[in-house]
Amino acid sequence: MPYKPIDFFGIDELYHPEELLIRQSVRSFVDTEVIPIIEDSFEKADFHFDLIPKMAELGLFGITIPEEYGGIGANYTSYGLAMQELERGDSGIRSFASVQNSLVMYPINKYGSEEIKKRWLPKLAKGEAIGCFGLTEPDHGSNPGGMITNAVETADSYILNGAKMWITNGTIADIAVVWAKLNGEVCGFLVEKGMKGFTAPEMTGKHSLRASITSELVFQDVEIPKINKLNIKGLKGPLSCLTQARYGIAYGVIGAAMAVYDSALDYSLSRIQFGRPIAGFQLTQEKLVNMFTEISKAQLVAYRLGRLKDDDRATSHQVSFAKRNNVEIALNCCRIAREIHGANGIVNEYNVMRHAANLESVKTYEGTHEIHTLILGEHLTGIPAYQ
């Protein structure tokens, strides 16, 4: 059955023609390159490296980065729509693009010197270099300010020590944007593959995001040239990157939600019990309507947030709202879709269980659901509950 995305409120009328074209191209790419291989890739935890040049050729790396650095120069709405389509394929594939765009190219473009930008951005855009982002540590997740990874300045370099965990693309990365304390203040450093003392072992045993590589980053007296330090101080550096990535997630998960909804609707119309399609039963209809309603609301939130970002007016609180809400409804859609698919919901003939398993990670990464609740709680009351 062809994919039938939801657009109950005619939001497509609000998108610019080129935004819709970008969405359509990424949708076609996912149909031809991702969906045919993804169940196998997920099952075998085998990341398909050939997707990297294909994604690069389509223009999925550096979507909002200026053309002079090899980017596309498109707006944030286009970026959001591209993430939505990638995540219809798989959250792991979307994560790959999120990291490259929002967590690597964004900070290099925003906080890197001209020389660094020219050296790395075109390669990252072409997929000739892969990036990763090291903030989370084994003992510091929701509280990144407590990080123990640290840098010490010497006459002509910085010496980095510490470890990062849960790092998407770490093992295959050519460049890592690593956050470490220098004189007690969080600073960003570019650590290059092959630098002495830097290793990135892969983490295995995941039941989620299996089509994506997750790694540890270990730094033992890694010597980093001065030019590789980013021009930003304090937690606002990494948090600004996370705001970019979280925005992409708020859009992205709608793709996963629409994928499982689409499958559930098709299934409910073709699955016959008691002599008629289960779509005809009231309990099933309520489930479908609940998914459809939440997806439509999430679309409106994402659309508005995208436009605010395009105007440079979106706040990190609004991004927290959208990430928190949209990931939760997407995960709920997976659970409801699984119920509609009955026993078939657990097998890999359908996409439901894979999306459900992926979204369990998405609910926790990039600011846990709980932390986003507290960010909004502080916004409402003025009282920070996490300190």
Partner 1 sequence: MNILVCISRVPDTASRVIVGSDGKTIDPQGIKYIVNPYDEIALEEGLRLREKNGGTVTALTVGGESSKEQLRTALAMGVDSAVIVKTDSSFDSFFVANNISEYAKSINPDIILLGKQSVDFDSLQVPSILGELLGLPSVSVVTKLAIEGNTVTAEREIEGGKEVVETSLPCIISAQKGLNDPRYPKLPDIMKAKSKPIEEKDAVNSDERVTVMGIEIPLKKRAGIILGGEDKDIDEVVRLLHEESKVI
Tell me the catalytic residues: 366
Supply 92's token pair: 């792991």
Give the DSSP H or E segment for 119. Answer: helix 114-126
Q: How far is the CB of 67 from partner 1 (least distance, A)?
A: 8
Adjacent-strand bridge partners of 162: 219
Site pattern 40..69 for partner 1 (x: CB under 8 A): -----------------xxxx--x---x--
Nearer to partner 1, 194 or 275 (CB): 275
Cβ distance to partner 1 smaller for residue 101 or 208: 101
Amino acid in position 30: V
Min CB(344)–partner 1 separation in Å: 17
Closest distance of CB 312 from partner 1, Å: 19
| Half-sphere exposure at residue 118, Cβ-oriented, CA atoms within 13 angstroms | 4
- Inter-residue contact 251 to 302 (CB < 8 Å): yes
Mask: binding to partner 1, 209-238, rule CB under 8 A, as x and -? ------------------------------
**For residue 339, what is the DSSP state?**
H
- In sequence order, which residues have a C-beta less than 8 Å from that of residue 304 and are 6 or more positions away? none
Q: How many CB atoms lie within 10 A of CB 315?
A: 12
Nearest approach in angstroms of CB 274 to partner 1 is 12
Work out the angle between the directed axes of helices 352-364 and 316-340 (0-180°, nearest 10): 150
93: contact with partner 1 by CB under 8 A: no
Distance CA 93, CA 300 (A): 24
**x/- contact string, 319-348, with partner 1 (CB under 8 A)?**
------------------------------
Q: Which two tokens stand for residue 89?
A: 């394929």
Q: Which of residues 252-311 bind partner 1 (CB under 8 A)?
A: 272, 275
Map tokens 């609000």 to a residue.
14
Nearer to partner 1, 22 or 175 (CB): 22
Size of the site for partner 1 (CB under 8 A): 26
Smaller CB separation from partner 1, 75 or 171: 75
- Find residue 276's DSSP bridge partners: 273
Strand pairing category for 229-233 and 272-273: unpaired
27 vs 309, beta carbon nearer partner 1: 27
Residue 202 CA to its chain's centroid (Å) = 19
By the 10 Å C-beta count (0-12 exposed, 13-18 middle, 19+ buried), 150 is classed as: middle
C-alpha atoms less than 13 angstroms from C-alpha of 219 in its C-beta half-sphere: 31
Kindly indicate which of the ranges 43-51, 71-79, 85-93, 289-297 contains the residues binding partner 1, using the contact rule CB under 8 A: 71-79
Contact window for partner 1 (CB under 8 A) among 6-14, 83-91, 146-154, 246-254: 6-14
Nearer to partner 1, 94 or 210 (CB): 94
The correct pick among 36, 73, 225, 384 for binding partner 1 (CB under 8 A) is 73
Q: Is 29 in the site for partner 1 (CB under 8 A)?
A: yes
Contacting positions for partner 1 (CB under 8 A)? 2, 4, 7, 10, 12, 17-18, 21-22, 24-25, 28-29, 57-60, 63, 67, 72-74, 78, 82, 272, 275
